[in-house]
Amino acid sequence: QNPRDADISDQQDGVVEASAPLPPPTPPPLSEYKVLVSVEARLKPSSTARIDDVRTSIERMLENRNLTYVDGPIPVPLDDPFLTENVERICIGDTDEWVLNHEVLLFWQVKPVVHVFQLSEEGPCEDLSGDGQLSTFNEWILPAREFDGMWESLIFESGLKQRLLRYAASALLFTEKGVDPFLVSWNRIILLHGPPGTGKTSLCKALAQKLSIRFNYRYPQCQLVEVNAHSLFSKWFSESGKLVAKLFQKIQEMVEEENNLVFVLIDEVESLAAARKAALSGSEPSDSIRVVNALLTQMDKLKSSPNVIILTTSNITAAIDIAFVDRADIKAYVGPPPLQARYEILRSCLQELIRKAILSSFQDCDDLVLLNYTSMKEKLNMPAGTEDVQTPFNLSKQLLEAAEACEGLSGRALRKLPFLAHAAVSDPYNCDPRRFLCTMIDTAKRELSEL
Ligand code: ADP
């Protein structure tokens, strides 16, 4: 039977449509809804270009290129003198919340939202509380050089960073649109709690930095004030009331400027509860209860200002003042990193040591790239014998063993581990990655036994 006959008979049976090859996918019309993807462009410190001009240039560049979108940096085009002169880095971020086509979004599925920013190089401005002994708060102008890259370096169970970002974005939008708080209530208070060293404080700072970049079209100025609650209660209770008043007066002044977005980070809020309890039991002067109350009252006052977000952390969940917990809109538990996060944290450490030539790369591959967790798992699930046994795979497998051995270590301990391991290897100046990983596993076991 020749093929044409087959076609005809199929047609007669009415099956030809089903067996016909599918037409190639056509891009939807441009007007159709697209996935919004943030593209962040960091200006050079020397740049004096207008943000709007740079944004338009980048939008044009993105339109002209049929890029695929994956998280990470994209090159500043060398054939564009305006961009090369002014832009230090262009980076696509946070596409992970979307339905991805094997982690790649095609250019026609995407509407890039370009955020152009310049980092503040000023560093923290420290307030020494009156007599110059103990600083009560630090202040940064955001986005700050110190916090650059922090958001990307923090790895949690999936979704936590996105959840916080979206929450804060919604809160700012509700405020901007003037949603009536009697009808829909929301605060701008976030509480992160969990064991020490799990990245809570860093996440608060990184979130503030991210929001300062994302919302710079609305708030061209942005500040972060970091208050150490513990310092408010140490030493001199009689002074603390005054300190709180002084601090909040300063914050109030910042907030009055409506183009200012202000983040207030209160670390270790559990010390508030501890102070109140101690006051009740009579072991601390009753002054402290007034300080806690003053702080809560001041926070309530700030709540009515649309341009302030209060970020708080606590190392102990149970001891947080109930009055405080009630005020927070988002209470997120940040625990020790799960396996995938441990693997990715250690992978980023190792990748840095390879980049800086502390770990010697192999002769046959100059830029050794360790597999990410997902690719690693995919390879491991391949039928035996079909997986490739190249060096990165073997090394990644060993890294997975290390990540498994680190169960129970905090993010802070994990980031320190490669350093401790390096100090323990026998050949620190010519360090073989495989031997290094073995030492790292031993070091992890030792660290865990000492917890
Ligand atoms: P916490 O406030 O929970 O005590 P920190 O924010 O002070 O923790 O974390 C200290 C350091 O540990 C961070 O600067 C970071 O280098 C590292 N770290 C902690 N948790 C993580 C994490 N989940 N991912 C990556 N690094 C982490």
Residue type, 140: W
pLDDT category, 134, cuts 50, 70, 90? low
DSSP secondary structure string for all residues of 31-95:
TS--EEEEEEEEEPTT----HHHHHHHHHHHHHHS--EE-SEEEPPPTT-HHHHHHEEEEEEE-G
Please tell me the distance from the alpha carbon of residue 428 to that of residue 280, in angstroms, as a whole number.
Answer: 55
Q: Which helix (H) or strand (E) holds 191?
A: strand 189-193
Of 146-150, 347-351, 366-370, the range with the lowest mean pLDDT is 366-370
* DSSP element (H, E) containing 15: none
Residue of minimum CA distance from atom 21 in ligand 1: 411
Q: Is the CB of 412 under 6 A from ligand 1?
A: yes
Give 201 Cα–ligand 1 centroid separation in angstroms.
Answer: 7
Least confident of 82-96, 203-217, 309-323: 309-323
* Residue 17 pLDDT > 50: no
From the list 139, 112, 88, the residue with the least C-alpha distance to 34 is: 112
The mean-pLDDT minimum among 132-136, 139-143, 182-186 falls in 132-136
Pocket test for ligand 1, best of 339, 348, 351, 415 (most atoms within 8 A of CB): 415
> Is ipTM over 0.85?
yes
Give residue 294's pLDDT: 78
Q: What is the pLDDT of residue 40?
A: 94
pLDDT at residue 325 is higher than 60: yes
- Torsion angle defined by CA atoms of residues 401, 450, 313 and 169, in that order, rounded to the nearest 10 degrees: -10
pLDDT the model gives residue 175: 82
- For residue range 344-366, list pLDDT tens digits in order: 999 999 999 988 888 876 554 55
Most confidently predicted of 14-23, 294-303, 407-416 = 407-416
- pLDDT tens for residues 265-282? 988 887 776 766 666 676
- Alpha-carbon distance of 59 to 63, in angstroms, equals 6
How many A from CA of 253 to the centre of ligand 1?
31
Q: What is the pLDDT of residue 4?
A: 42
Distance 75 CA to ligand 1 centre (A): 29
CA of 336 to the centre of ligand 1 (A): 10
Residue given tokens 């990193």 in the structure block:
337
Question: CA Rg, the chain, in Å?
Answer: 27
Question: Could you give the C-alpha distances from 144 to 19, 117, 124, 165, 259, in angstroms and in order?
Answer: 59, 10, 9, 18, 18
Q: Give 263 Cα–ligand 1 centroid separation in angstroms.
A: 19
Per-residue confidence at 329, pLDDT binned at 50, 70, 90? confident
Res. 78: pLDDT tops 50? yes
For residue 72, how many other CB atoms are within 10 A of its CB?
10
**Element (H or E) spanning 16, and its range?**
helix 16-19
Would you state the pLDDT for residue 5? Answer: 42
Any ligand 1 atom below 6 A from CB of 199 = yes
pLDDT value for 120: 94
Kindly state if the Cβ of 417 falls inside 6 Å of ligand 1.
Answer: no
- Contact between 77 and 99 under an 8 Å Cβ cutoff? The reply is no
For ligand 1, whether the C-beta of 34 sits within 6 Å is no
Of all protein residues, whose CA lies closest to atom 9 belonging to ligand 1? 199
How remote is the CA of residue 153 from the centroid of ligand 1, in Å?
9
d(CA 40, CA 213) in angstroms, rounded, equals 8
The pLDDT-based confidence of 15 (bands split at 50, 70, 90) is very low
Question: What's the average model confidence in pLDDT over 362-371?
Answer: 65
Burial (0-12, 13-18, 19+ Cβ within 10 Å), 332? middle
What's the mean pLDDT when you consider all of the chain?
A: 81
What's the rounded Cα separation, in Å, for the pair 154 and 202?
8
pLDDT reported for residue 224:
96
Give the integer Cα–Cα distance in Å for 5 and 17: 16
Q: Is the dihedral of CA 158, 161, 164, 169 positive or negative?
A: negative
Backbone dihedral region of 72: left (phi > 0), alpha (psi from -120 to 50 degrees) or beta?
Answer: left
pLDDT surpasses 80 at 261: yes
Q: To which residue do tokens 């036994």 refer?
A: 449
Q: Is the pLDDT of residue 216 over 50?
A: yes
What pLDDT does residue 350 have? Answer: 93
Sign, Cα dihedral of 90, 93, 95, 101:
positive
Please give the Cα distance from 363 to 404 (Å, whole number): 28
Question: For atom 25 of ligand 1, which residue has the closest CA?
Answer: 154
Average pLDDT on 39-67 reads 89
> Counting atoms of ligand 1 from 1, which one is nearest the CA of 267?
2
What is the rounded CA–CA span in Å between residue 365 and residue 391? 9
pLDDT of residue 446: 94
- In this prediction, residue 231 carries a pLDDT of 72
The reply to whether ligand 1 has any atom less than 6 angstroms from the CB of 345 is yes
Q: What pLDDT score was predicted for residue 131?
A: 54
Q: What number is the average pLDDT over the span 43-65?
A: 91
pLDDT band at 33 (very low <50, low <70, confident <90, very high): low
Which pLDDT value is given to residue 2?
46
Cβ–ligand 1 contact at 314 (below 6 Å): no
Produce one character per residue of 234-259: b if its CB has 16 or more CB atoms within 10 Å, e if not: eebbebbbebbebbbeebeebbeeee
Q: What is the pLDDT of residue 391?
A: 64
Residue to mutate, 147, 198, 334, ligand 1, most ligand atoms under 8 Å from C-beta? 198
Which of 10-14, 51-55, 364-368 is the least confident region?
10-14
Residue 343 has pLDDT above 80, yes or no: yes
**pLDDT value at 162 more than 60:** yes
Q: How far is the CA of 418 from the centre of ligand 1 (A)?
A: 15
What's the mean pLDDT in 97-115?
Answer: 65
Q: How far is the CA of 324 from the centre of ligand 1 (A)?
A: 23
- Listed ranges 219-228, 296-305, 353-362, 384-393; the one with the highest mean pLDDT: 219-228
Read off φ and ψ for residue 8, nearest 5 degrees. -65, -45
Report the run of H or E that residue 194 belongs to, with start and end. Answer: none
Work out the percent of the chain whose per-residue pLDDT is above 90.
Answer: 38
Q: How confident is the model at residue 367 (pLDDT cuts 50, 70, 90)?
A: low
Decide if 213 contacts 40 (C-beta within 8 A): yes
pLDDT reading at 98 higher than 50: no
CA of 213 to the centre of ligand 1 (A): 22
